[in-house]
Structure 1
Amino acid sequence: MSKSNPVVIAVGGNSLISEKEKVTVEDQYEAIRGTVRHVADVIEAGRQVCVTHGNGPQVGFILRRSEIARKVAGMHPVPLASCVADTQGAIGWQIQQALSNELRRRGLGATHRGMAVSVVTQVLVDVDDPGFVDPDKFVGEVYQEADLPVLREEYPHWVLKPDRGRGWRRVVPSPKPLEIVELPVIRSLLEQGFNVVAVGGGGVPVVRGDDGELRGVAAVIDKDLATGLLATTLGADLLVVSTSVPKVSLNYGTPDQTDLADVTAQEMRTYLAQGHFPPGSMGPKIAAAIDFLAKGGKEVIITCPDNLKNALESGGGTRITP
């Protein structure tokens, strides 16, 4: 078996929800079916893919259900690491099913190349990461100040902070991803010819104890940084970041908006420092792209799903090179 060099494609969690009113599991699957048609174009053109995905809204739904069950029925809360694992399994299954079905319709289903498989993936983080000292990633419900005494009594380990005038919310660490635990499995599946879905939602965050055992921690790993780490460790040449816009822009949403086509990592580093890419949206994608290219990657494409084929074949989207 030869060493695989797949195209690593990151699909955002919000892009799995086509409209704010369409948030059911069935709605999500229909959105995924639309997205994987563009991924299938890449496979049909002769490339193998490794797909990652976001899970922010989906984890929020699980946390909300857990909170309602706690209030109404006295049920136990769902640990955050379990929420990430749950969404990896559910979204990964939907992507692998939809992609395999699409490849079968195109006559590619008779070989490994026409199959997709998902891997629930753990990602190692450092227990001494600065993110654990001052957590800042908002998750879950919005609470009012009157709720705080009860919450602090029931969940003394929670950290609660005000969220832009909306109320109070739980915050958790967002540590840097260090190692993809199931990397040998992912690599083996790729070498056998499968298309793989992995590192969903940035991976289940785990730390390694002094005894060598892994344990999950209440944290959220940035999915773009984890995807960049996956692409680097797989030795991929190309990283594709699927987002809601066809191109990255400077001065986005203003009369001075300028779309970017072919740019260098140094140019993007400058734009990032100038504040063009907010931390909560495009910033992590640009940071992951720069890091991937610095570690040997040859190209990053950022574009929307329906522009993916055009971006790969005709130079569409934003293309970042070293």
Structure 2
Amino acid sequence: MRITVALGGNALLRRGEPPSAQNQRANVRKAAKALAELVAAGHQIVVTHGNGPQVGLLALQAAAGPADGAYPLDILDAESEGMIGYLIEQELAGLLPGRALATLLTLVEVDRSDPAFSRPTKPIGPLYDEATARRMEAERGWCVAPDGVGWRRVVASPMPVKIMEAATIAMLVEHDVTVICGGGGGIPVVERPDGSLQGVEAVIDKDFASDLLARGLGADMLLLLTDVDAVYDAFGTPDARAIRLGTPASLSPARFPAGSMRPKLSAALAFAEATGRPAAIGRLEDAPAIVAGTQGTRIEAR
């Protein structure tokens, strides 16, 4: 099967884990092992990944330096895409000797009139307690919001409209290259009146970008990997129940948190409904079992 595999940013840097290069490399090593198992099973994979923790940290590092050293989010998106892609490609190369690999910086067009620009919802960077988050909001002009057990900075997350490198990615895939692309949802750009592209201050949700990419590539499955083993009703409560099979008729994304499971479920449902092919959500290390249908949450069109 041809599978678009989306690695969650929190699967690559665990919640509450120190954001060291060593920790990220260790997590990427685990991700690469799961990806290599899919390739060994005969699947053709295209890899995307999140960047929420990483791009937020890069923004903090830039803000701590000289005033003229601060960079807008589109450049930081590109920086994080290259950094994470490098780590994934390096680890995969060690597990898949002789396999052709490529990491591709990916520009993704968004609509400059998208209402998301006036309603920031995408969590980036580390977790804070509420008092610290409110102080950072006042000092830095951020928007902050609750995220699980803490608070995080939130930024605009417009919907992806067009993947600018789609033809290049398709060409590489047709030549059996394992492509790592669309990192962090891609680098958000809008079209100027003269047809040129301009970066914008946003972070695209990688699940929605992965759905768009998977459809364009004719993927047989969209696989969304994160740090929980399935989609749960009443997650985090004594009544939590894993959902093993869902359909557009039986699942409403509105039932789930906007900053975590909702975009994954929305993307999975959209892919299944548009293509008639399955999507699945689950834990990174369970990837082969999720594809086999014995773990995770499977989303089907019926």
TM-score (norm 2): 0.89
Of the two, which has the highest radius of gyration?
1
Q: 1:170 to 1:45 in 2, by over 3 A?
A: closer
Structure 1 runs of 4+ with >6 Å offset: none
**Structure 1: unaligned runs, 5 residues or longer:** 152-158
Alignment of 1:179-194 (within 5 A): 179-194=162-177
- Paired with 1:76 and 1:306, the residues of 2 have a C-alpha distance of 38
- Deviation sequence 1:144-185 (CA, Å, 0-9, x none): 38965xx6xxxxxxx644646xxx987542111000000011
Question: Residue type of the partner of 1:246?
Answer: D
Tell me the residue number matched to 1:116.
Answer: 101
- 1:101 counterpart = 2:97: no
- 1:218 counterpart = 2:201: yes
Tell me the residue number matched to 1:49.
Answer: 45
Give the drift of 1:293: 1.4
Question: Residue type of the partner of 2:94?
Answer: N
Tell me the residue number matched to 2:260.
Answer: 281
Question: Residue type of the partner of 2:111?
Answer: D
Question: Residue type of the partner of 2:102?
Answer: V
Tell me the residue number matched to 2:9.
Answer: 13
Give the drift of 1:13: 0.7
Question: Residue type of the partner of 1:265?
Answer: P
Give the drift of 1:10: 0.6
- Deviation sequence 1:169-208 (CA, Å, 0-9, x none): 8754211100000001110110011111110001100001
More strand per residue = 2
- Deviation sequence 1:70-97 (CA, Å, 0-9, x none): 3xxx443111100000000010111111
**Structure 2: unaligned runs, 5 residues or longer:** 127-132
Give the drift of 1:300: 0.8
- 1:173 counterpart = 2:166: no
Q: CA RMSD in A?
A: 2.3
Q: Out of 270, 274, 277, which is 1:295 matched to?
A: 274
- Paired with 2:172 and 2:156, the residues of 1 have a C-alpha distance of 31
Asked if 1 retains the 8 angstrom alpha-carbon contact of 2:53 and 2:125, the reply is no
- 1:59 counterpart = 2:64: no
- Paired with 2:214 and 2:230, the residues of 1 have a C-alpha distance of 21
Tell me the residue number matched to 2:130.
Answer: none
Q: 1:297 to 1:33 in 2, by over 3 A?
A: farther
Question: Residue type of the partner of 2:292?
Answer: E
- Paired with 1:281 and 1:67, the residues of 2 have a C-alpha distance of 26
Asked if 2 retains the 8 angstrom alpha-carbon contact of 1:235 and 1:297, the reply is no
SS at 1:92 equivalent? helix
- Paired with 1:312 and 1:137, the residues of 2 have a C-alpha distance of 28
SS at 1:280 equivalent? coil
Give the drift of 1:246: 1.6
Matched pairs, number: 291
Give the drift of 1:139: 5.0
Question: Residue type of the partner of 1:116?
Answer: L
- 1:228 counterpart = 2:224: no
Give the drift of 1:289: 0.7
Tell me the residue number matched to 2:26.
Answer: 30
Question: Residue type of the partner of 2:176?
Answer: G
TM-score (norm 1): 0.84
Tell me the residue number matched to 1:68.
Answer: 64
